[in-house]
Amino acid sequence: MAVPDTAWHINSGVVMIRQYAVFCAISLVLVLLPASGYGQDAAQTTLIGGQHEVSVLADIPYREDSEADAKKHKLDLFLPKGGTGFPVLFFIHGGGWTSGDRKLYTMVGNTFARNGVATVVISYRLSPGVQHPGHITDVAKAYAWTVKNIARHGGRPDRIFVSGQSAGGHLAALLATNATFLAVENLGLKDIRGAMPISGIYTFRSGWMDRVIGKGKAAATSASPLSHVNGVEPPFLILYAASDFGGCERMSKDLNQALEKKNIETSCVCIPDRNHISIMYRLMLSEADPTTQAMLGFISRHSELKLRPRPESDTNPDKKKPTPEKNPGAAPAGPKP
């Protein structure tokens, strides 16, 4: 399988961090805008998992020992109101392993929870404060918290799907391939229902980004999802953008091929008209976005989530709902009991 050269690794790492700053600025603008009307493809039928109201539980610590990070060892829950037994999306943010926070991804939680998918958005410690395996150790700890606690919040611990974008895509794929980190939490790859990494890096080479993964071949191998595929992985949906970093496309296809050779259910999907940043912020805006649709479809195929066409009034925001006629002779409505 092809391994991207060192020059690509160095350049893409720098660009990833710079573009993440752009993503942060876009995210701050988007949280002030309504989601409807953005990221939609009118030519396609949009399938939804529901139109739930969403309850948010923020700043829940998943690690509380004396060395816990007061800011980063926390997660936010986005929960569909009404009912229980929801599938769960466990989402890991990107940012080149050096920046980012769960608070920039509240729209991911709201979009999926609205569609009947309980969503966990986590933070984790960043470099240079920690190196590999510090990031993935935090991810595994947060995942273990989710398995243990999500049932009392309406989610199913046996229907948890791990996802993330960019550095988060790498960590999602690593959690679902390298069993070492879940084993510390008395869990295994069987405890992941499915993995949906987005625009991730799936192989490292010694000498690249030492401040993130550490020095030496052993560290690079440990951090590379491609090095750990052995045929016991959960189903995968691997997503990348048509105008993504060149290495993201190659490594997405390599990971897909490695999983196929081990007879693991997998698919690799290129999202058109997107780049490394827009694939993320567009999926946050609406369930009509092709990335979001692919993810909802994958969750539906591996859980009890039922998808249905979105009502026309939601598809076409310009179509006004009829205004109820008023009865001028009626008495004013009083408060409801």
pLDDT at 284: 94
Judge whether 265 lies within some domain.
yes
Query: What does the pLDDT average to over 291-319?
Result: 85
3-state SS class at 118 = strand
Number of domains in the chain: 1
| pLDDT given at position 313 | 57
Q: What is the pLDDT of residue 314?
A: 57
pLDDT at 319 > cutoff 50: no
| pLDDT confidence of residue 126 | 98
Residue 218, pLDDT score: 96
How many Å apart are CA 1 and CA 246, to the nearest integer?
15
Could you list the residue range(s) of the whole structural domain that residue 195 is in? 6-35+48-305
Q: Cα–Cα distance between 304 and 94 in angstroms, integer?
A: 29
Q: First and final CA of the chain: distance in angstroms?
A: 67
75 or 16: whose pLDDT is higher? Answer: 75
Residue 312 falls inside a structural domain:
no
Is the Cβ–Cβ distance between 186 and 179 less than 8 Å? Answer: no
Given a cut of 80, is residue 150 above it in pLDDT?
Answer: yes
What three-state secondary structure class fits 130? coil
Averaged pLDDT score across all residues of the chain: 86
Residue 327 lies in a domain: no
In this structure, is residue 330 part of a structural domain?
A: no
314 in a domain, yes or no? no
CA–CA dist 47, 115 (Å, integer): 9
Q: Amino acid letter at 137?
A: T
For 266-291, the pLDDT digits (tens) are 999 999 999 999 999 999 998 999 99
Is pLDDT of 122 > 50? yes
- Backbone phi, then psi, for 212, in 5-degree steps? -95, -50
Of 28-32, 64-68, 99-103, 285-289, give the lowest mean pLDDT range: 28-32
Q: Structure tokens of 268?
A: 């690799």
In a domain, 156, yes or no: yes
Which two structure tokens, joined as six digits, stand for 129?
């404060």
- Give yes or no for residue 11 having a pLDDT over 90: no
Residue 185 lies in a domain: yes
CATH code, 222: 3.40.50.1820
- What pLDDT shows up at residue 188? 98
Structure tokens at 143: 């995942």
